[in-house]
Amino acid sequence: MLERLGEFCTAALAAHGCPSASVAVVRDGTVVLAEAYGLADVAAGRPATPDTGYLLASVTKPMTATAVCVLADRGLLDLDAPLPAAELAMPAGVDWPAPTPRQLLQHRGGLTGHYDFQYGKDPEPPIDVSFYTRAYRRPGSGYEYANLGYRLLGTLAETASGLPLPRLLAREVFAPLRLASCALGTDAPGPVATRYSIDGRGYPAELSTSHPGATLGRATAADLALFGHRHETLLAPSTVAATRTAAPISDHLGYGLGWCVSRGAGPLIVSHGGGMGGVATMVVAVPELALSVAVLTNSTGKAARDAIVDHLLRSEVPGYRPAMISTAGTAPARPVAPAVGDWSGEITTPDGPVPVTLRVRRDGPADLTLAGGTATATAVPSGEWDLSATFDLQLPTADARRNSPLLGLTVSATQGALTGAARTYRDGDRTGWLGNLLSHPVRLIPR
């Protein structure tokens, strides 16, 4: 299968409009395949090679998690000690404890979705994320993927070690594992693949974010596959066991200390995927087979990445199913009945409260009015939320106007009110660059 991989990858790139892919396979500690296909830079005609670095997006999280666990094994931080209360805001009137590092590593720290990016020489100042670093649920009560939790972990690791996070990762993770291409940040030396939008426009090379420890890793595919194979050698056996002991997030997957962990029949698989503007990546390790795989692509679209990963794992891992590495879950169909009716309230924003009204009809459509505008969208339950809908409305805040033109509402009925989050974002990057996802508390009461 590996001998014919080039043919498959070339076809997958063409079928899905992806400029390039870099692929590596490690068996028993040895890189048995490291190949690249397509163009790392389309305009320059520069081919991708096994030495080409790629940004990793959320595949950075296992690297940051490994550094945090190394510090914990040395007694420099306590995975179960609550963070200082000042690190994040809590809702008014609650007595929730601050999250622990372990909860943040597992995305159970009470925070919600967020990402922010600045591209090129953006004259705007960075978004102040202090407002967005807040709990939406009691820490430990449930899973919700949160980049800002890894921002908090990065700050904690810097305090415990006395080192900036890029230097900490270099000294305590990448150097001991002999991973010369791995780094945190976009300014590391060496060739790197240009990132491309879903329709083939090149992103600026310069990229910054408030959550680098969640997002801004870079590596070659071979070094990333070796990281997947070797990272546990840095940790105490009890910490390795904790990494693999993952609270469930679906019937087929759990999330441990920085890694997705398969559940159910078949071999244990630990994995993590990543995606952002111009990046789609995946690393997979199967400890009982001493096998690890890395697939890196330089397009926002994930289809080529997914096709190559699936092709490799179906061949190399007996009993493999795509659900063993997919965070997509299933939820039983149910009506939006708890949210039906007329509601009014406000969205809390960094610029002050924004009044809103919401009408939810029994057959699903919902009307949202704010800032003098009204939009209609289909409302459905989603996971634990009684209502989820996206409205073509601009939240009138300075942060949201920068690159987040849509408003997604996710709320549940609790004690006679609808509470949850109003999220501003841009739907992909078919126009412009991938925008920021900014979450805001919302509370509505019956009118």
Fold of 337-446: Lipocalin (2.40.128)
pLDDT in tens, 96-117: 999 999 999 999 999 999 999 9
pLDDT score, position 245:
87
pLDDT tens-digit series, residues 272-286: 999 999 999 999 999
Number of Cβ within a 10 Å radius of residue 228: 27
Q: What is the pLDDT of residue 122?
A: 87
CATH number of the 2-324 domain: 3.40.710.10
pTM across the whole model: 0.96
Domain positions in the chain: 2-324, 337-446
Mean pLDDT rounded to a whole number for the chain = 95
User: Is the per-residue pLDDT at 152 higher than 90?
Assistant: yes
pLDDT tens, residue by residue, 371-427: 999 999 999 888 788 999 999 999 999 999 999 999 999 999 988 999 999 999 999
Percent of the chain beyond pLDDT 70? Answer: 98
At 383 the pLDDT is 77
Tens digit of each residue's pLDDT (9 = 90 or more) over 324-364: 998 876 555 667 788 899 999 999 999 999 999 999 998 87
> What confidence category does residue 46 fall into, taking pLDDT thresholds of 50, 70 and 90?
very high
pLDDT confidence tier of residue 92, bands split at 50, 70 and 90 = confident
pLDDT score at 382: 82
pLDDT digits (tens, 9 = 90+) for 21-34: 999 999 999 999 99
- Return the pLDDT at 267: 93
Q: What is the percent of the chain where pLDDT is above 90?
A: 87
> Which tens digits make up the pLDDT trace of 251-265?
899 999 999 999 988
Question: 189 falls in which pLDDT band (50, 70, 90)?
Answer: confident
Residues 6+ apart with CB under 8 A from 75: none
Written as six digits, the tokens of 421 are 């989050």
